Each structure stands twice: as C-alpha cells, then as structure tokens.
Amino acid sequence: MDLHGAANDMEWLQGVHVIETYATTTLLIDDRLVLIDTSADADAGKVMDYLSNIRVKPKDLSTIFITHTHPDHVGGLAAIKHGSPAKVAAHRIEADFIARKRVYDGPSGPQSHPGTVVDVLLDDGQKHDGLEVIFTPGHTRGSISLFDASHSLLIAGDAARNESGVGPMDDRYNVDPKQHRESIKKLAKFHFENAIFGHGAPIKGGAGAKIADLAKRV
C-alpha cells in the first residue's frame, strides 16, 4: 500500500483519520487498516471518497467495527463491505440487529439498512485488531466503545457525545438511560488522553479527565 503523497488534512493524530460524516467514521492506519463505523449514507459515499483519496481500498481493510446498530453508524456498511474480505466486528448482542436477523426494539425504531453478517462477535474486554472492547450498553442494547492504547485513544461511539461539552446522548435515543449513565462511569475507569465521539468534535489531550468529570455528574 502506497500512502505517500496522500492527503492528510483529516489525519487527526498520526495514523488516526477522522472522517466527518453525520456520525463520525474513524480510520486507523498503522500495522492495521481498521474502520470504525460507516456513516448514514446507504452508498457510504463520503467514506468511500475519503478512502479513495488516500488510496485505501475497502478490500485492504482488515476489520470494520460497528459500535452500534443505529442507522447513522451502520448505514454504509453493506456498500463498504461489498466485495471486501474485511471482517465485520460488533458486540454479540448487536450482531443480529446489524444483520437484520432481529428487529431492533429500541429508539429510533425499526431499521432499514441492508443487513450485513457480523463475522466477529465481540465481548467486553476482548481485544481484536489491537482494539480493546468496552461494552457500553444503554444507548443501544449492544453498544461498544473501543480503546486504542497505542494512541491513548478512546473511540466512544455513542456512549457519550461532545456537543456543547461532553455529555450523555439525548435520552430520546437511548434504549436504557440509566444503563447509558453506568456505561459513562465505566469509561471513566480507563486512562486515555484522546477521544473520538460519534457526535461532536474529537478531543486531543485531557479527554479522560473530561469523561471523569462527566461520570461524576451523571
């Protein structure tokens, strides 16, 4: 893979690309080539364009993690996965919703994305492709966050957001608001400097302290 001369204007940390879709898509490029979440676009247009611009082909991806089954995170999965041997990884509770084998029973209602089989069923504490799974249910039943020690980075998914400050998600979109807050307290036990959220700006430096402050307030 030749990345020389590639555009790096959205390379947020070295090897960590943040693609500004409606819900953030993250790309890790080091000894892995990993995508986390896939935007709301059914054709994954912006994600595909970004990959193309930096000369990454979907077939080169090793893993596509899905933090949870909401349409703005899973919408582009089928298009990106199409023809790619990349493994799709999600929490085992979320897998049947992503595959559309079960009707999702939480907000925001029944789903419409094309179902995609989840290849790797994740559990709390498991490591896959260098990322540690943190089970953070409450937003959806099987939500996860991912911890990347090599970048001191938390990829929160929708376990928290950073819109007008770090806070919980709007409870209209949480299947279990109390459990969502327990998950925020769980995130506060991890040590990290940087964080990427599904919604809101990523935080470079001091992110762990902000999550710890939030955990005291929720």
Q: Is 180 in the site for Zn ion (CB under 5 A)?
A: no
Minimum CB distance to Zn ion, residue 188 (Å): 20
Instruction: Round to whole Å and give the CA distance between 94 and 119.
Output: 12
Count of residues near Zn ion by CB under 5 A: 2
Which CB sits closer to Zn ion, 44 or 159? 159
128-167 residues near Zn ion, rule: CB under 5 A = 158
- Residue 70 tokens read as 């909401």
Which ranges in 54-165 belong to alpha helices (H)?
Answer: 71-74, 77-81, 92-98
Q: Is 94 in the site for Zn ion (CB under 5 A)?
A: no
Instruction: Round to whole Å and give the CA distance between 55 and 75.
Output: 22
Which CB sits closer to Zn ion, 29 or 211? 211
Amino acid at residue number 8:
N
Which CB sits closer to Zn ion, 60 or 96? 96
Going by C-alpha positions, the residue among 119, 13, 22 that lies closest to residue 61 is 119
Close Cβ partners of 64 (under 8 Å, ≥ 6 residues apart)? 34, 35, 36, 38, 77, 80, 81, 86, 87, 88, 89
Minimum CB distance to Zn ion, residue 118 (Å): 17
Q: Is 70 in the site for Zn ion (CB under 5 A)?
A: yes
Minimum CB distance to Zn ion, residue 157 (Å): 7
Which CB sits closer to Zn ion, 102 or 191? 102
Instruction: Round to whole Å and give the CA distance between 66 and 62.
Output: 13
Which CB sits closer to Zn ion, 70 or 186? 70
Question: Which range of residues in 66-74, 121-129, 148-156, 183-191 is near Zn ion by CB under 5 A?
Answer: 66-74
Minimum CB distance to Zn ion, residue 137 (Å): 12
What is the number of other CB atoms lying within 10 angstroms of the CB of residue 126?
17
**Contact footprint for Zn ion (CB under 5 A):** 70, 158
